[in-house]
A and B are shown apart, each in its own frame.
Chain A
Amino acid sequence: GIQVEQSPPDLILQEGANSTLRCNFSDSVNNLQWFHQNPWGQLINLFYIPSGTKQNGRLSATTVATERYSLLYISSSQTTDSGVYFCAVARAGSYQLTFGKGTKLSVIP
């Protein structure tokens, strides 16, 4: 099956700092989503971005499908950004999302 690798596995930031999270995948995809899992376990959908660039407030994401990677940018981080960020992809012709192991982000005041 498709492989999804996320880096870094853990990240500690001072409040106000910027960060970049990376997701590499091993095959062509027709779906790529970024999620934030909050401390209560909820999966919050951040971006649907199989290709191109999108921005939503302090967050933005870029997927370069031809090179099989996606980046999630968090600017001016806040303590509420803490949690685990997951990248999930679906291969062309498949219904299932394959998740990476996530990046655990801790933002400290």
Chain B
Amino acid sequence: EPEVTQTPSHQVTQMGQEVILRCVPISNHLYFYWYRQILGQKVEFLVSFYNNEISEKSEIFDDQFSVERPDGSNFTLKIRSTKLEDSAMYFCASSYGTGYQPQHFGDGTRLSIL
């Protein structure tokens, strides 16, 4: 069964540095998402992306964050000037469509800011 793959599985970064989290969505999917989960808390939506632009974003997704689909297969989340509170598990997801289509999640990247 096709899967969403995320790299790296664990990223350790110094506070203030930039980090790029990478995702390869399922190949025929058209909609892409990033979510995050701070340790011990629920999963929170960050952003959705379709047709090379952001479709929807949450209050968390401020100017520190950006997303990009640099080629036909990768989908990236960039976090500039990382803060301690950015430490979390970041999940990428994809779906064939919106609404009446399930979202498929990757295994996540655990980001630790020191």
Contacts and interface: CB of A to CB of B under 8 A. Distances in A.
* A and B form one complex: yes
Interface of A: 30-31, 33, 35, 41-43, 45, 48, 50, 86, 88, 90, 92-102
A31 B108 contact: no
Q: Which of B37, B41, B98, B99 has the largest count of A CB atoms less than 10 A from its CB?
A: B99
8 contacts: A30-B99, A41-B89, A41-B108, A43-B108, A48-B102, A95-B33, A95-B98, A99-B42
Interface of B is mostly: strand
B44 A99 contact: yes
A42 B103 contact: no
Given A95-B31, A96-B58, A100-B42, A45 B105 contact: yes
B44 A92 contact: no
A42 B107 contact: yes
B65 interface: no
A100 to B, nearest CB: 7
Contacts of A50: 100
B110 A43 contact: no
A30 B44 CA distance: 18
B48 interface: yes
Interface string B90-101: 010100001111
B91 A43 contact: yes
A93 B99 CA distance: 7
A76 B22 CA distance: 39
Interface in B2-57: 31, 33, 35, 37, 41-45, 48, 50, 55-56
Nearest to B105: A43
